[in-house]
Amino acid sequence: PAAREIARDAAETVSALSLRNRPRRNRKAEWSRRLVREHVLTTDDLIWPLFIVEGDSRRDEIGSMPGVERLGIDEIVREAERAAALGIPALGLFPYTDHALRDARGSEALNAQNLVCRAVRAVKQAVPGIGLITDVALDPYTSHGHDGLLTEDGRILNDETVAVLVEQALIQAEAGADIIAPSDMMDGRVAAIREGLDKAGFLDVQIMSYAAKYASAFYGPFRDALGTTLIGDKRTYQMDSSNDSEAIREVALDLDEGADMVMVKPGLPYLDVIRRVKDSFDVPTFAYQVSGEYAMIQAAALNGWIDGEKAMLESLIAFKRAGADGVFTYFAPRVAEQLKRG
Ligand code: PBG
């Protein structure tokens, strides 16, 4: 009885509220929620990063990225066909280089027959309509795991590295890469790569620069995927996570140097940076939902702690809300399949 009285009192109080605005009205039914929806995620927003490994019909699991595998080139081609059928516009390709081929200078990056180049040629031949994005940086090829050339006393040489990166970019363009994506964070690399591409006649090869790339703990599983053991850290070239105005400067420089598209990386912890970049420059702006972000969602989902499908979609719409035009995500095929099912 006491409870019933309290409820009646409460109902009277509520009906006494004469609210002009009741935001909940628009949320009252699914059709209405759909009607007022502000942002949508579509398959056109997805870039699918794939890991390549030597060996046919090979699919190796990656311990820290459940659901993601390293794939032999024939398997990459199969996944590219699947991506095209799903409507995914572009793939990012990352090689797991044999340890025997890694050295201090990352020489294998300049081998026109390296894994990435062979994968690019194979996919281009089988699935010509899909965009291929290749990473320019030395870390998959160096014994020390750095993106650039390392001196004996542990410094990364900027200008000498840029010269190598230009050559790496040209080899990738020669193989058929559509977008060159420098992820190394050396100063001046975009201008040098643009000049190199243009001189070699690759006027239409785009540059998507990892413009605001932070030194991040969230890249851990990626290094596992590539078999990289990093000596030291990347803080003399990747950005400090405490900064955001510096990201604006980095993006301004890359655009000035000829970048066609820019990227902010990692993703969810840096949504504020995506928004600032988009508002400041209004150019095609991409985000990278990196390996550690993927791993966190997967780990929680596999433990039954969160609903994985919902968390995946919620994490991706966040990028759209922040102003991103597209997202590199290991969830790409799963999302595309979800969106297709409707
Ligand atoms: C290499 C590179 C990294 C990633 C993409 N390109 C790692 C790093 O800079 O250490 C990370 C991607 C991911 O974590 O998913 N320059």
Cis peptide before 140 (omega within 30 of 0): no
Are 210 and 218 spatial neighbours (Cβ–Cβ below 8 Å)? no
* Domains recognised in the chain with CATH numbers: 43-341 (3.20.20.70)
Q: What are the φ/ψ torsions at residue 241 (nearest 5 degrees)?
A: -65, -10
Ligand 1 atom 14, closest CA: 219
pLDDT level of residue 81 (50, 70, 90 thresholds): very high
Q: What is the mean pLDDT of the chain?
A: 96
Decide if pLDDT at 15 tops 70: no
What is the tens place of the pLDDT at every residue in 286-331? 999 999 999 999 999 999 999 999 999 999 999 999 999 999 999 9
What is the tens place of the pLDDT at every residue in 18-77? 899 999 999 999 999 999 999 999 999 999 999 999 999 999 999 999 999 999 999 999
Question: Annotated catalytic, 265?
Answer: yes
C-beta of 225 in contact with ligand 1 (< 6 A): no
Ligand 1 atom 11, closest CA: 219
pLDDT of residue 88: 98
pLDDT level of residue 338 (50, 70, 90 thresholds): very high
Pocket probe mutation, ligand 1, options 134, 210, 219, max atoms within 8 Å of Cβ: 219
Integer-rounded Cα radius of gyration of the chain: 23
- CA distance from start to end of the chain: 48
Decide if pLDDT at 279 tops 80: yes
What is the tens place of the pLDDT at every residue in 140-163? 999 999 999 999 999 999 999 999
pLDDT of residue 4: 83
**H or E, element range at 179:** strand 179-182
Q: Is 250 annotated as a binding residue?
A: yes
Q: Which residue has the higher pLDDT, 4 or 126?
A: 126
pLDDT level of residue 3 (50, 70, 90 thresholds): confident
User: Which two three-digit tokens encode residue 231?
Assistant: 């000596």
